[in-house]
Amino acid sequence: MNDRDIWLQAVAAVAAEYRALPSALRSRVDELAASIRRAKGGLHRLAEEMRCAEICSSCGGECCVRGKYHVTVIDILVFLAAREPLFEPAFGRESCPYLGGSGCMMAPSYRPFSCVTFNCERVEGGWEPERVSEFYRCERELRGLYGALEELFGNRFMHGLLMNCERDVMGRGEPILRCVERWVDGNYDQ
């Protein structure tokens, strides 16, 4: 099985499991996903106001060389919750499989955690301390939201979607989104 096959199987598994969630749980996932989009948008704005687009385009995206495991189950849930069509990765190249002809295939509010929270010295070097503090406050908030989804499903997602598929679905024959039985409609017991 190549990377593209694993990607397709992983995306299909997460989409099917998301659609089968009890409605109360799916609503909770949608709320968290909306907060994740807002937090990522806020992080991107803080960098954009300091001309990160210009700096990154003159660098040519040096930090976008390896990204295969950057997309997580959570990022797919954010696309599903927003009913946003998913992109088509290009595996088997030197660069990140999610890098298209005009930059990342994902809009800033949908990019993986490790991408939206990373700024190299060229980007962040000239920032005033208040902007740096605000950026890392937003980064902690985003980390908390990712953690809340991991807790909700009793699973670890930060090693990447492909890893979850290989380990959970292909390796153990288990679902990726677990602990769902606690959320049977009208019967949630925290």
Residue ranges binding ligand SF4 (CB under 6 A):
55-56, 59, 61-64, 67, 70, 96, 98-99, 104, 106, 111-112, 115, 119-120, 122-123
Q: Which residues contact 116 (CB under 8 A, 6 or more apart)?
A: 40, 43, 44, 108, 142
Cβ 86 to ligand SF4, closest distance in Å? Answer: 13
- In Å, the largest CA–CA distance within the chain is 54
Looking at residue 110, its amino acid is: Y
Nearer to ligand SF4, 123 or 180 (CB): 123
Cβ 157 to ligand SF4, closest distance in Å? Answer: 15
Cβ(149)–Cβ(77) under 8 Å?
yes
Cβ 55 to ligand SF4, closest distance in Å? Answer: 5
Nearer to ligand SF4, 37 or 70 (CB): 70
Nearer to ligand SF4, 33 or 50 (CB): 50
Q: Kindly report the length of the chain.
A: 190
Burial class of residue 56, CB neighbours in 10 A (0-12, 13-18, 19+): buried
Cβ 27 to ligand SF4, closest distance in Å? Answer: 28
